[in-house]
Amino acid sequence: MSSRPLSGRATSPTAQGAEAGTAGAGSCALIRRATAGDLATLARIHRIAYSSSHFTALLGDSALARYYSYFLQDPCEIRLACNGSEDRDRQGCDLEDVAGFAVFGEGIPDRIARFKQECFSEILITASRHPVRAARKSLRSVYSRLTRRAEYPPADFLLLSIAVAVPRRGTGGRLLRSTLEAARSRGAGSVGLYVNADNISAINAYSAAGFVIKDFRVGQYYMERALD
């Protein structure tokens, strides 16, 4: 479910990127934490999951890998859903072995801001190569500032994105459940996410998983689920 990870605040996945529905049949043998050795694979999965209309899909592989590197350390985390045997997964998942990944945790907006600041030149070069899309993004940002109002305070624990290589195989549901389990283990009282307002399938999937719309911000709904 597509998001705007460079928006400066936490976002959620898009329908092209993930299905966050309930459990389904699939061949994922393991969900494990991503490491620096998985960054190239994360970048490739990102390109599969997100269409070229998504700004981050326009970034180079090295920039994407660096983007995800900001979320490898606590209090953030990236979890991979891998196919194949557990022994092979311990050695790292190749592109064909990774079914998808989820990015979540606390302090996500700060990590995004750091990436934007430290990789400004790469973002600027990408924007110059795609001026129309960059202009649309800038206009949305300006509109957001001009129409700013009191916002519903987001949860500390945010789900930034779920991305899957092949949708509708239950991978997104597994990753969402793993995210909720991680939030509970850290003592979080709720989990928040952002989803594009035109992404009806994602909104319905998250609603079915217990998320409730709390706010609307620049073409995105902020949804939240209280944890038991």
Residue 75 exposed, middle or buried by CB count within 10 Å (0-12, 13-18, 19+): middle
pLDDT score of 134? 55
pLDDT score of 142? 52
pTM of the model: 0.79
**Per-residue pLDDT tens listing for the chain (228 residues):** 333 444 433 333 433 343 444 334 445 558 999 999 999 999 999 988 887 667 777 888 899 999 999 999 999 999 999 886 555 544 555 556 889 999 999 999 999 999 999 988 887 877 777 666 656 555 555 555 556 666 789 999 999 999 998 888 889 999 999 999 999 999 999 999 999 888 898 899 999 999 999 998 877 899 999 998
Contact 194, 12 (CB under 8 A): yes
pLDDT score of 194? 94
Q: Tokens 């920039």 — which residue?
A: 63
Q: Residue 13 half-sphere exposure, CB side, CA atoms within 13 Å?
A: 32
Q: Supply φ then ψ for residue 189, to 5 degrees.
A: -90, -20
pLDDT score of 13? 42
pLDDT score of 10? 34
Residues in a beta bridge with 195 = 221
C-alpha 8/C-alpha 162 separation (Å) is 18
Domains annotated on the chain, with CATH = 28-226 (3.40.630.30)
Q: Token pair of 85, please?
A: 């045997």
Secondary structure class of 208 (helix, strand, coil): helix
Kindly provide the b/e burial profile for residues 140-174, where b requires at least 16 CB atoms within 10 angstroms of the residue's own CB. eeeeeeeeeeeeeebbbbbbbbbbbbebebbbbbb
| Beta strands, E only, 92-155 | 98-106
